[in-house]
Amino acid sequence: MRKTTLLTLFALSATACVTHRSAVEYEGVLPAADCPGVIYSLTLNADIEGSDTLFMLKQTYLEAGENGGNISFELQGVQRMREGKYIQLYPDNGEQQMNFYQVDDNTIRYVNADFQPIANGLNYDLKRK
């Protein structure tokens, strides 16, 4: 009986150490040159340092279509976490890599290829939903 109890406790403690984060969603309106802005709806899957996981991004260009309508595009691909605070997105369709900096638990910021903030005074933050 005691051996069974110890084995059960060991199994429970071992599984308790493994945590899986479900998908996390971020959203925000980023500046654009040819329209009032682009809504970024980004879903990041569990982030394990050094591992490739998947992302999905919906970009909605505000008032960019016919008669002032919105135009949406969806991208998916591989995300990589770097140094515990940088998120790199590699779209499957070969589009340019995108980089984000994790400001805090609720905010990520779109940054340039050198992981530096875009210095134009505009808001590039996405907030956790």
Domains and CATH numbers, the chain: 22-128 (2.40.128.640)
Buried b (16+ CB within 10 A) or exposed e, 3-20: eeeeeeeeeeeeeeeeee
Q: What is the pTM for the complete model shown? A: 0.79
How would DSSP label each residue in 35-86? SS-EEEEEEE----TT-EEEEEEEEEETT-SGGG--EEEEEEEEEEEETTTE
Per-residue confidence (pLDDT) for residue 112, from 0 to 100: 96
Q: State pLDDT tens for residues 33-53.
A: 999 999 999 999 875 555 679
Tell me the one-letter amino acid at 83: E
Q: What is the CA radius of gyration of the chain?
A: 19
Q: How confident is the model at residue 110 (pLDDT cuts 50, 70, 90)?
A: very high
Cα–Cα distance between 30 and 37 in angstroms, integer? Answer: 6
Is the pLDDT confidence value at 105 over 70? yes
